[in-house]
Amino acid sequence: MTIQDIALIDEWHPVLLSSDLLEKPIPVIVLGEKVAVFRTSQGVHAFKDLCIHRGVPLSLGKVKGDELVCAYHGWSYNGCGTCTRIPSLPADRAIPSKAKAFVYPCVEAHGFIWVSLGTPVHSLPKVSAYIPDGFKEVIMGPYILQAAGPRIIENFLDVSHLMFVHEGLLGNSEFAEIGDYQVYEEDGVLTSEEIVVYQPDPDGTGRGVHSRYVYEVFGPLCVAFTKRDRDTDHIFRLFLMVLPETEQMSKAFMLKQRNYAYKEPDEVFVQFQDLLIEQDREMVENQKPELLPLDLQAELHLNTDRLSIAYRKRLRELGVTFGTA
Ligand code: FES
Ligand code: CO
């Protein structure tokens, strides 16, 4: 393993939507490592995507009888990575003890498949546990972005871009001023005070509202905001979890929770989010330097960037080096 990132290696990373992992193994990339993810009757599994015999990606193989069978010479690996069958081996020969796949921790939760390349130190983001019953959930993405994970996260935490990048939807450039707010920390979660933003059409339904935003940073690549409509009890919570494939290629997964517009089809919200992501894409794919600078002397910060500053400090404390400079 050549990845030096002490924080991200031990994180859980979302790699696939549960609904996308069917009977075929799927190749994914986590922190530059190729990983084969597959499903058996016992659950989900992640192996290094390389057969020890002749280096063919195991993701080219197929799942048969709860084992992953390599496409090249049919070696069969069980969920623990142990090779249980080598078809070309005469029946009286033992399978070499080195015939193993390299296994990574892999779990399925909240509609996503999660992989860690190390020893996961934190529990999975509690994306469902936070919201009381009666909220409607929609999974969105994955969005493929040619940008560093931390740049994508910071864009999500950046309230002052709403009035420009998402003008007419999430903000109005005539009302771009942001009141001062603080960021505090509780149980390791960075949380902003409420920030009020006038939003002409925040759901794509044409209804303007004054939204009160609270942002939360749960982990280096897992964040959320909760917005409350100032005039109703409408609550909207959006999680963003970014998979860092390489330093400059990422997949963004989102989970949205709401306690209103129950009858509105989920597709309306998904399409609206797709539009917002396209607007953000132009920014995050063109930022220079591509990697998020953690030196606070780099770039120019305002008070309204408090949350970005806190995020950069946090990444620095955690020792995140992948996608940062
Ligand atoms: Fe996988 Fe030969 S390369 S079985
Ligand atoms: Co945006």
Nearest to 220, CA basis, from 194, 178, 250: 250
Pocket test residue of 51, 67, 77, 89 for ligand 1, highest count of atoms within 8 A of CB: 51
Q: What pLDDT does 126 receive? A: 73
Q: 0.90 cut: is pTM over it? A: yes
Ligand 1 in reach of 51 Cβ (< 6 A)? yes
Token look-up 């953000």 returns 280
Q: What pLDDT does 212 receive? A: 94
Radius of gyration of the chain (CA): 22
Q: What pLDDT does 202 receive? A: 87
Q: What is the distance in A from the centroid of ligand 2 to the CA of 256?
A: 15
Q: How many distinct helices (H) and strands (E) make up the chain?
A: 4, 19
pLDDT at 129 over 70: no
Q: What is the distance in A from the centroid of ligand 2 to the CA of 34?
A: 30
Closest residue by CA, ligand 1 atom 2: 73
Count of residues in the chain: 325
Q: What pLDDT does 165 receive? A: 97
Q: How far apart are CA 88 and CA 181, in angstroms?
A: 67
pLDDT at 131 over 80: no
pLDDT at 207 over 90: no
Give me the percent of the chain exceeding a pLDDT of 70: 98
Ligand 1 in reach of 24 Cβ (< 6 A)? no
Of all ligands present, the nearest one to the C-alpha of 51 is 1
Q: How far apart are CA 85 and CA 78, in angstroms?
A: 9
ipTM above 0.90, yes or no: yes
Averaged pLDDT score across all residues of the chain: 94
Q: What is the distance in A from the centroid of ligand 2 to the CA of 269?
A: 15
Q: What is the distance in A from the centroid of ligand 1 to the CA of 73?
A: 5
Helix, strand, or coil here: 268?
helix
Of all ligands present, the nearest one to the C-alpha of 284 is 2
**Residue 108 near residue 44, CB atoms below 8 Å:** yes
Q: How far apart are CA 96 and CA 62, in angstroms?
A: 22
Nearest to 131, CA basis, from 7, 265, 239: 239
Ligand 1 in reach of 70 Cβ (< 6 A)? yes
Q: How far apart are CA 193 and CA 296, in angstroms?
A: 22
Q: What is the distance in A from the centroid of ligand 2 to the CA of 70?
A: 42
Q: What pLDDT does 56 receive? A: 98
Q: How far apart are CA 77 and CA 86, in angstroms?
A: 9
Residues 232-287 have pLDDT tens digits of 989 999 999 999 999 999 999 999 999 988 888 999 999 999 999 999 999 999 99
Lowest mean pLDDT among 101-110, 176-185, 203-212, 278-287: 203-212
Ligand 1 in reach of 89 Cβ (< 6 A)? no
Closest residue by CA, ligand 1 atom 3: 54
Of all ligands present, the nearest one to the C-alpha of 50 is 1
Count of CA atoms in the C-beta half-sphere (13 A) of 207:
10
Q: What is the distance in A from the centroid of ligand 1 to the CA of 50?
A: 9
Pocket test residue of 49, 50, 53 for ligand 1, highest count of atoms within 8 A of CB: 53
Q: What pLDDT does 1 receive? A: 47
Pocket test residue of 70, 77, 83, 98 for ligand 1, highest count of atoms within 8 A of CB: 70
Q: What pLDDT does 216 receive? A: 95
**Residue 238 near residue 252, CB atoms below 8 Å:** no
**Residue 280 near residue 155, CB atoms below 8 Å:** yes
Q: How far apart are CA 209 and CA 212, in angstroms?
A: 10
Q: What pLDDT does 2 receive? A: 57
Tell me 197's DSSP state.
Answer: E
Residues 2-24 have pLDDT tens digits of 567 889 999 999 999 999 999 99
Ligand 1 in reach of 83 Cβ (< 6 A)? no
Q: What pLDDT does 128 receive? A: 63
Q: What is the distance in A from the centroid of ligand 2 to the CA of 299?
A: 19
Q: What pLDDT does 134 receive? A: 80
| Confidence band for 139, pLDDT divided at 50, 70 and 90 | very high
Q: What pLDDT does 61 receive? A: 98
Q: What pLDDT does 173 receive? A: 92
Task: Determine the average pLDDT of the residues in 225-230.
Answer: 92
Ligand 1: nearest atom to the Cα of 70: 1
